[in-house]
Amino acid sequence: MKKRFSLGKVVSTVFLVLWLVLSLFPLYWLLCFSLKDTQEIFSGNLIGLPTQWLFSNYANAWGSGGNISLFLLNSVIDTAATLVLTSLFGFMCAYGLLRMRWKGQKLVMTYIMMGMMIPMHAALYPLTETLLPLMKTHWALIIPYAAFNIPITILILSGFITSIPYEMEEAACIDGSGIYRTAFTIILPMMIPAISTAAIFVFLQVWNELLLATIFTTGKVRTLTVGIQQMSGQYQTDYGSMGAALVIATLPTLILYICMSGQVQKSLIAGAVKG
């Protein structure tokens, strides 16, 4: 039996292929950029493959030339701690606000959601006064990152937790399960897709944040974004090594999305169907 190819399918296939090429082109350009020297970059070969594949740019960026290894470790510590805190406190707040009944519930929910209206960078002065003693530690970034990302985490989780039927908690209560056991052993495993979705949003904001990282960190606790910025010299810049550092900074984001893309899809499907 012959397959029939309609004009709509051909157009949609061509469009998707072009969209894929456009989406992958920045990664291709960045990878080629990281394997060139400064002279080749400014000689006009911006898009083509490098004439000399300079893998030494990665060694220079990773080692003493860029010290990206230390900055990468700092970013991993700050981001991982922020994700743990926002996921834990976001889940606990969402459960308490949406699955329990107590006075002032809606008022507290509104107050927390109002935190999304305040940009992180609008609170620089009070944060500076508060976090001044912590500027040489990782907590100088972990605390504000977690505080400003908890409201968006609660918002994402709230859309998912309302789709979970109350009968599951009632059955657990009949079996003698307490509120904490019900929340962490029954509800929490069901919300892993939603937590993964929130974690990706928080990760992108924290991993790429620059202003607070520049102001509130010094010395050996600087993050990856600040380290890459420092690779730009006043009179001379090794753009090849900077490109290698950008590739290193991009890899964790790609790995996280590849690992959690399935969970994100499950969250979208589950959030679209109630009951």
What confidence tens digit (pLDDT) does each residue in 110-155 have? 888 888 888 877 888 888 888 888 888 899 999 999 999 999 999 8
Please report whether residue 88 resides in a domain: yes
Please report whether residue 231 resides in a domain: yes
Banded model confidence at residue 275, pLDDT cuts 50, 70, 90: very low
The reported pLDDT for the residue numbered 274 is 45
Q: How does the average pLDDT of the chain come out, rounded?
A: 84
Find the length of the chain: 275
Please report whether residue 141 resides in a domain: yes
Half-sphere exposure of 125 (CA within 13 A, CB side): 0
pTM: 0.83
Q: Which domain holds residue 166?
A: 56-272
| Distance of alpha carbon 142 from alpha carbon 78, whole angstroms | 6
The reported pLDDT for the residue numbered 193 is 84
pLDDT in tens, 4-58: 667 778 888 889 999 999 988 989 999 998 888 888 878 877 788 888 888 888 8
Mean pLDDT of 196-217: 89
Could you write out the DSSP letters of every residue in 203-258? Answer: HHHHHT--HHHHHH--GGG--HHHHHHHTS-SS---HHHHHHHHHHHHHHHHHHHH
Please report whether residue 255 resides in a domain: yes
The CA distances from residue 73 to 19, 188, 207, 224, 248, in Å, are: 34, 29, 12, 8, 12
Please report whether residue 40 resides in a domain: no
The reported pLDDT for the residue numbered 1 is 46
State how many domains the chain has: 1
CATH classification of the domain holding 66: 1.10.3720.10
